[in-house]
Structure 1
Amino acid sequence: MPAFDSLNGFAHSADVPVALDKIHQALNQPKRTLIGLTGGPGSGKSTLASHLHQCLSTHAQEQVICLSMDGFHLSKAQLQALPNAEDAFARRGAPWTFDSEAFIARVKSIKQAYQQDRILWPSFDHALGDPIENDQSIHQDIKVVLIEGLYLLHQQDGWQESKALFDEQWFLDVPVEIAIERLAKRHMSVWKFSHEQAMDRIKQSDGLNAALVAGYQHHADWQLKV
């Protein structure tokens, strides 16, 4: 099992065993189960998804796949083509800077393809700053699909259909100060920002997105705390 730093805290959370139990219950169902994992920027969604997958047995891991909504970011070329391109780049990560229509269509395909078809899924290359089309493959026999992302519960900007597509929606609730610290470290590492620049980015973009996401957490079926 991988080591997790004190900021993540997943290894000590009482909700992690509950999440694993929910996944095991889903594996015993005769159908494919879609689980949405939502939370604000820096909440640790992708880290938690990876942690849950690695805690499963080898056999269970083969039947569970973890995906990210990030592959549905509009590309830099698409953002540049928008009439408000400058604002789009500044607010990249806001609900309207994703291709929500493509996301909804792909999730619908996943639901319908169990034991029939293989579905391809995009990823996001943070080094390039762009999505990579068809980078992941969802085998037709995968039973549990866990998708993490900011706007799975969002009720505007083309995301209205998202919630109903999932069998369960989980919300990852972490203290704001922890999320901010993670985001600052991420921005300094990926974008080589100074701490001041990272905090400005959080204030001007991530913080606005976090407030949006928090406004919908009561729509989740279950809230995890770490």
Structure 2
Amino acid sequence: MDSPEARLAVASLRERLSGRRRTMLGITGAPGSGKSTFAAWLQHQFGPDAAAVVPMDGFHLANSIIDGTPLRERKGSMDTFDAGGYLSLLRRLVLRDEEVVYAPEFQRTLDEPVAASIGVPSSVSLVITEGNYLLASQAPWPEVRAQLDEVWFIDTPPAVRLGRLVDRHVEFGMDRTAAEAWALGPDEANARIIEATRDGADRIIPWG
């Protein structure tokens, strides 16, 4: 599953972690690129005592906020996230002055974020945050980028990415026709926005 580029990136990250300062690493890429899988793999390289994963998806707006609005038809787009809340969390994690910082997590079985699902102790030296818009130019995303030491872009073949998306949507309740329509519609619209930010990444990681 991993690649030579990923192994090289891990080696460089180990060098960065030799200092005492906490390292904040962003993982971005289009929907279905494997960000969550890569972040979990990366955490495994360092161990849960040294590394924590804090997904941006925990800041999806709740369905009670978007239901009955145009946002519902493009859930996952930039304006369906609490970007300010995410930025505030990253700033707390950078400061590292609290014994534990709790972060929300998106539960796909519920299709909702759940508060305080992830605990990040102050002892953790590497925080990995993964999400779609870490390199976006619209406010407040440049401020999000400013909290991160590096951002890596996950590069996955489009056919692989789309297949994963369809399978994921089916797994969590869509019929296949609806899943394909969503993957080729809202997901693909978001993918084009995200792909346009790849030149701002510190590393491109082929994955999958």
Q: TM-score per shorter chain, which class? A: over 0.9
Can you list the C-alpha shifts for 1:6-36, whole angstroms capped at 9, x where unaligned? xxx32xx112211321331232112001000
Q: Which residue of 2 aligns with 1:153?
A: 135
1:6 corresponds to? none
Offset at 1:160?
2.8
1:44 aligns with 2:34: yes
2:6 and 2:141 map into 1 onto residues whose CA distance is 28
- Specify which of 90, 108, 112 is matched with residue 126 of structure 1: 108
Out of 12, 16, 23, which is 1:22 matched to?
12
Query: Contact between 1:46 and 1:148, CA under 8 Å: does it hold in 2?
Result: yes
How far off its partner does 1:54 sit? Answer: 2.0
- The alignment-based identity, stated in percent, is 28
Counterpart of 2:187 (choices 186, 202, 206) is 206
1:134-149 maps to which residues of 2 (within 5 A)?
134-149=116-131
Mapped contact 1:23–1:144 kept (Cα < 8 A)? no
What is the one-letter code of the residue matched to 1:78?
Answer: I
Matched, 1:61 2:18: no
State which of 146, 149, 153 in structure 2 corresponds to 1:164. Answer: 146
The reply on whether 1:222 has 2:206 as its aligned counterpart is no
Q: Which runs of 5+ in 1 are unaligned?
A: 1-8
Aligned residue number for residue 99 of structure 1:
82
| Comparing 152-161 and 123-132, the one that deviates more | 152-161
* Runs of 4+ more than 6 Å apart: none
User: In structure 2, what is the Cα distance between the partners aligned to 1:30 and 1:45?
Assistant: 27
Say if 1:113 and 1:55 are closer, same or farther in 2 by CA, change over 3 A.
Answer: closer
What residue number does 2:170 align with? 188
Look up the match of 2:157.
175
**Distance across 1 between alignment mates of 2:94 and 2:45:** 25
Cα drift, residue 157 of structure 1: 5.3
After superposition, where does 1:63-78 map in structure 2 within 5 Å?
A: 63-78=50-65
CA distance in 1, matches of 2:49, 2:120: 11
Structure 1 Cα separation of the partners of residues 16 and 115 of structure 2: 28
Q: Does the 8 Å contact 1:26/1:144 carry over to 2? A: no
RMSD, aligned α-carbons: 1.4
Structure 2 unaligned spans of 5+: none
Aligned residues: 207
C-alpha separation in 1, matches of 2:87 and 2:45: 29
Deviation track 1:125-159 (CA, whole Å, cap 9, x = no partner) reads 11111110111111011100010110111111532
Local SS of the residue matching 1:162: helix
TM-score, length-scaled by structure 1 = 0.87
